[in-house]
Amino acid sequence: MKQEHFVQRHQSEWIAFEHWLDARGPSARKARAERRNWHGLSDAEMPSRYRRLCQQLALARRRGYSPVVTDRLQALMHRGHGLLYRTPVPHWRRAAEFLIAGFPRLVRAERGCMLASFALFWIPLVAIFAAIQWQPDLSSALFDPVQLMQFEHMYDPVDPARKLGRDNGTDVAMFGHYVWNNVSIGFRTFASGLIAGIGSIVVLIVNGVMIGGVAGHLQAVGHGDPFWRFVAGHSAPELTAIVIAGGAGLRLGLSLVAPGQRRRADALVEGGRRGALLCVGVLAMLVFAAFVEAFWSSIAWMPAWIKYTVGGVLWTSTAAWLLLGGRHLPAEDAGA
């Protein structure tokens, strides 16, 4: 092939590759900030484009094309090599990007399972809470008298000096206890989905009934104010994380029961991978909830309006993060 025909055939590829290098090369941070407005080659295409460029350079050298052509291809190859094989993003930054953007996108991608999990958890919770307000004796069917006395003692409104929601223990010790308790609940909610999704359904309903039962009893006996001041802060990340763990468990169960066109084993592996990624975000939410519960929620002297304001901010922030996080990313970044 003559040099003129060779250049004419591949010129558009070289220009597109050069534009991608100009957009991505100078600053990775700037490239991430501006990729929403980028309409050139996608990042996913670049490895194959780079290999094609190397092949074209080899052909140009073998055919004895002029240095104008070979030098241009050599320069593009060096720039592409330096960009494609540069030092990867630090693990902490990748983790932060996943929690900020990738995790919310993954939650939204599983919206069907998440909505089902939301209903399985919140409908029993609200229903049992309302039922106890109408018939207070129902709490005795859920808890024994000793447990009910413990609940009332932990949220006793006539003893404002003591910590809310606990009998004893330092903040640090209770933080460790809350981490263990919250994470174990989240893990059970997800892992029980292996029982064809039935396990996650049962765990979600039971947790909804238990939480609604405690809240309903304390409200019915006049201990609602300290209880609501205690749960206002950490309820947003904690309860939302339980719902997401339940949605991940339902996805795992659906992969087992309804694999679609894939083999059951392949569907289960894919469901487990997506569920594990969801559990990474759930773990972060539960640890944060435990921190708030140990060091903020238990403060008894704090005025109620401050507690409720902080709680409202956390609920709003959690909802905005899950609904809006990662919307600026292109499709290939979401897949990655």
pLDDT along the chain (336 residues), means of 10: 86 86 67 61 81 90 89 88 70 78 90 94 96 91 90 80 70 88 90 87 94 94 90 93 94 83 80 86 93 89 90 95 79 43
Residues 155/164, Cβ–Cβ less than 8 Å: yes
* Rounded distance between C-alpha atoms, residue 249 and residue 61, angstroms: 57
- Name every residue whose Cβ is closer than 8 Å to that of residue 186 and which is 6 or more positions away in sequence: 241, 242, 245, 279, 282, 283, 286
- Nearest alpha carbon to residue 251 among 110, 115, 135: 110
* Single-letter amino acid code for the residue at 331: A
Residues 278/103, Cβ–Cβ less than 8 Å: yes
- Name every residue whose Cβ is closer than 8 Å to that of residue 144 and which is 6 or more positions away in sequence: none
The predicted structure's pLDDT at residue 335: 43
Residues 244/117, Cβ–Cβ less than 8 Å: yes
Which tokens hold the place of 80?
């592409």
Q: Phi first, then psi: what are they for 43, rounded to 5°?
A: -60, -35
The whole model's pTM is what? 0.73
The predicted structure's pLDDT at residue 331: 44
- What CA–CA distances, in Å, run from 322 to 173, 176, 194, 198, 316? 30, 26, 25, 26, 10
The predicted structure's pLDDT at residue 200: 92
The predicted structure's pLDDT at residue 317: 95
- What CA–CA distances, in Å, run from 240 to 23, 38, 102, 212? 39, 34, 17, 15
The predicted structure's pLDDT at residue 177: 87
